[in-house]
Amino acid sequence: MDKKISSVRGMHDYLPEELKLWTKVENILKEILNSYCYEEIRLPILEKTNIFKRAIGNVTDVVQKEMYSFNDRKGNSLTLRPEGTVGCVRAIIENNLFRKKKQKFWYLGPMFRYERPQKGRHRQFYQLGVEVFGLKSENIDLEIILLINRIWKNLGIHLHVKLEINSIGSRSDRLEYQKSLLFFLEKNKKFLDEDSKKRLYTNPFRILDSKNPNLQKILKNAPLLNNYINCSAINHFNNLCNMMNLYGIKYVHNTNLVRGLDYYNNTVFEWKTNQIGTQNTICAGGRYDSLVEELGGNKTSAIGFAIGIERLILLIKSLKIMSSKEREIDVYIIFIGESSKIQAIKLSEDIRSIYPKLRVFVNFISCNLSKKFKHAVESLAKIAILIGTDEIKKSCFLLKDLKNKQEYFLKKNELILKIKQFF
């Protein structure tokens, strides 16, 4: 016998019931992005593999272990995007968008990473990403933080998320720092867990992010990146912190925050929550002032962030602050017998033409009348319209007010007018 069919591990279906909450959340996000004059951009899900290796960094977890890469029929290596920044940078270079003074973009869509699936971690997951180009000063860092804070506020989760921020300086600052960090880690090699030992000579910064509490104790004595970063990065960070203080933005300066992708410099940040388990970062981002040039564009400052939508939804659900139970149908049409079907469909089309915003549902399921009415009530429809043989004979329709339990026997033009009173 055939095995039961199933989706790919770590990739799941997003069913209508779940998507009601998603749509609400997405609408709030889009409204806020619009109010800051950020514009939508839609990018391919596949990019050439090389671009990710160049941009994200060959020794990062994403490139080494997490990418879905395969050869197409001509033998070209392609990759399902693990994140959106790289594709967005490619697009703005290719389409010359700086020249058109377009600077602020957002996108929403699926990303793919071959990771161990668990709560808040999937192999296909959605990100809302934002990327801003051509703005060098800390003003834009502040605007981004204000924008994200507004998102949390409007979603009603601001009391349950915490901003951690750091400056990681330039790449050459980090190379200097890496030497001292490596020296310290080698001295303490016996305390490193297996994971950290593997990272020692590939990506020692990632060890600082370790969740192992014993290791974290040792790391308290590790050299600090902050002591290695250049003056201009320090100024940038201090100015940003001063402005955040001025605007009353709460944050924690986490000197161990380094981020997993190579392209970041100066400001990096994450928003965490303690409501959704161990995968607790719901938003992360930072500056990447050299990536555009590295991928072949002109020297252009840049900053961006991404929100993990599944984790955001987990948080909203855990706080029970947004209900997804809402009216799904406005007008519920029931017909009895084949002969009334044509009338029912015609009526539904007329209502949709006259009142385009109304959600009109025609029940095609063959079951008895009381079941149909029960479904109408459960759907929270405001009115039901019944078309039976009697109604056809008299060229009338029976309208039921499902809330007040009143009934009206109406001619078609009266019915159309009456509907208006309910909405």
Binding site for ligand ATP (CB under 6 A): 83, 113, 115, 120-122, 125, 127, 260, 279, 281-284, 306, 308, 310-311
Residue number with CB closer to ligand ATP (20 or 121) = 121
- Closest distance of CB 197 from ligand ATP, Å: 20
Amino acid at 108: L
Tell me how far apart the alpha carbons of residues 88 and 397 are, in angstroms, rounded to a whole number.
55
Confirm if 191 and 65 have CB atoms less than 8 A apart.
no
The rounded distance, in Å, linking the Cα atoms of 106 and 38 is 6
Min. distance of Cβ 272 from ligand ATP in angstroms?
A: 9
Q: In this structure, are residues 305 and 286 in contact, taking their beta carbons and an 8 Å threshold? A: yes
Residues in the chain: 423
224 forms beta bridges with: none
- Does residue 223 contact residue 208 with C-beta atoms inside 8 Å? no
Q: Which is nearer to ligand ATP, 168 or 376 (CB)?
A: 168
The Cα diameter of the chain in Å comes to 94
User: In angstroms, what is the minimal distance from the CB of 61 to ligand ATP?
Assistant: 7
Residues with Cβ within 8 Å of 100's Cβ and at least 6 positions away in sequence, in order, are: none
- The Cβ of residue 419 has, within 10 Å, a number of other Cβ atoms equal to 21
Contacts of 381 (CB under 8 A, 6+ apart): 327, 329, 330, 331, 332, 361, 402
CB of 286 or CB of 415, closer to ligand ATP: 286
- In the complex, minimum distance from the CB of residue 122 to ligand ATP, in angstroms, rounded to a whole number: 4
Nearer to ligand ATP, 289 or 330 (CB): 289
- For ligand ATP, which is the closer residue by CB, 32 or 313? 313
**Hey, what amino acid is at 339?**
S
Question: From the CB of 59, what's the least distance to ligand ATP, in Å?
Answer: 15
Residue 167 CB, shortest distance to ligand ATP, in Å, is 17
Residue 306 · residue 268 · CB < 8 Å: no
Residue with Cβ nearer ligand ATP (282 or 316): 282
Taking the C-alpha atoms of residue 417 and residue 423, their distance in angstroms, rounded to an integer, is 11
Which is nearer to ligand ATP, 198 or 411 (by Cβ)?
198
* Burial class, 281, CB count within 10 angstroms (exposed 0-12 / middle 13-18 / buried 19+): middle
Sign (positive/negative) of CA torsion 405, 409, 410, 411? positive
Checking phi first, is residue 377 left (phi over 0); if not, alpha (psi -120 to 50) or beta? alpha
CB of 382 to ligand ATP, least distance (A): 38
Of all residues in this chain, which one has the CB nearest to ligand ATP in the complex? 308
Give whichever of 309 and 387 is closer to ligand ATP, judged by the CB atom: 309
C-alpha separations of 290 from 242, 302, 367 in Å: 25, 8, 65
**Complex with ligand ATP: residue 255 or 279, whichever CB lies closer:** 279
